[in-house]
Each structure stands twice: as C-alpha cells, then as structure tokens.
Amino acid sequence: MCGRYRLTAKERYLRDHLGLDEDPTWTPRWNIAPTQLVPIVRQKGTSSRRSFDLVHWGLIPSWAKDRSIATKTINAMSETAAEKPAFRDALRLRRCLIPASSFYEWQPNGSKQKQPFSIGMADDSTFAFAGLWESWTEPGGDIVETCTILTTTPNALVAKVHNRMPVILRVEDYARWLDPNINNPSLVRACLKPYDPALMKKYPVSTRVNRPENDDHECAQEVPIAITPTLF
C-alpha cells in the first residue's frame, strides 16, 4: 500500500512536469497523510485542459452514507478496481494524476519499530501516481471531493520493503490516463504496472515520518540504519 508520501517540488517544476497552463499554488509538504488535502491533476468533461486541484485523500464513493469509509480507501488494488463498487465508476470516468516527490514504506527490522524508507526517482525528479477521484455529497448538502492511489505488485526495489507499491505512471502515459474520452478500463490497463526499478532509488529515513504532525525536510533526510546486535 501507499500510506504516506511527500511533494516538495517547486511550483514551476510541477507546471512543466504535469503539463499545466500556469504555476499551481502549492506549499511543499514532506509528510502527506491520509484524509488530508492533496493535489491531483485531472481533465473534466471533454476539455483537454489539465487542472490542479486539492481533494481529500481517501475516496468516498457517491453512494456512501458518511465519511468513515475514507480511511479504508486511500489505496485501490489496480487488479480489482474495475470490479469493486467503490472504484469501478471512477476508473472509467474519473482518473487523475497524484504528483509526488517520493513515498514512504516501512520495513520490519527485527525490533518493535519498523524502519521507514523514502522511495522515489533515481534523479530525484517529480513523478505521478495513478489516481482516481470522486465527488460525494454530505447529508448537509456540501460537496466533498476525494481521491485514492492505485497500487500494484512491487518491483525488485520495493519488494525488499513491501509487498505492494503505488502505480507510478510513465510520463508518456499521462495523456492516455487522463483522457476523459476513454471510459473502458481495458484501454488503460497497460498503464497499471510496476515502475522500472532501474529508474528508482530508496534510502532509510528517520522515524520522525511515523507521526503526521512532523512535516519538514528532516522527514526525508537519509539516516544510517541501526544494526541490532546478535547474541551468541
């Protein structure tokens, strides 16, 4: 799964990478957590214009009675999303990019506390998760927009840390993934595969990232891994 990530790229780089018409409004975040507002890029209707919008992380289907489902839908398995009631309509009609600078995963290390890793591009460039978005109307009438990150089997790099990884889209697949005229999931299925591990890197980071209230550059700084002594 993907339960924490960062987006620290400057606005002009986000504009260029994501094909936006203008610089988006974004303050760097080092420790983005579920249910928080996160940026997505999408195309609505028949427009070819890409918009940069903030929505809540944790997809709430249009038929949900309340917000509680959002904590269980921060991720969607790409292999089954087309059949799941919570995700199938969004996969057909409401796909989006979720930009990121890296994501965090935790690896058991033999102690009570897992070791977090930052995982991203080898050249530290911006990338985008394959995402889905949804619109839900609260009982009081307010409209809440939400999203989820699609996941897939891990590549060789991530498999050493976790048994799933987020779907990272190739830049050349952005247009197809966002195209509102494509409403058959089979036509975007080829996008939903593990990213090339040769283009990625991972490194250990501080357990500061374990707490969502810690949101600064120290969350993504590389740290040495403590070696647990072996008793003979």
- Beta bridge pairs of residue 42: 51
Of 22, 79, 96, 105, catalytic: 105
Distance between CA atoms of 185 and 188, rounded to whole angstroms?
6
2 given a catalytic annotation: yes
Beta carbons within 8 Å of 187's beta carbon, 6+ residues apart: 176
11 given a catalytic annotation: no
Q: Is 166 helix (H, G, I), strand (E, B) or coil?
A: strand
Distance between CA atoms of 5 and 102, rounded to whole angstroms?
6
Sign of the CA dihedral running 210, 216, 219, 224: negative
Fill in the amino acid letter for 90: A
Of 2, 96, 191, 219, catalytic: 2
> Which residues are known to be catalytic?
2, 105
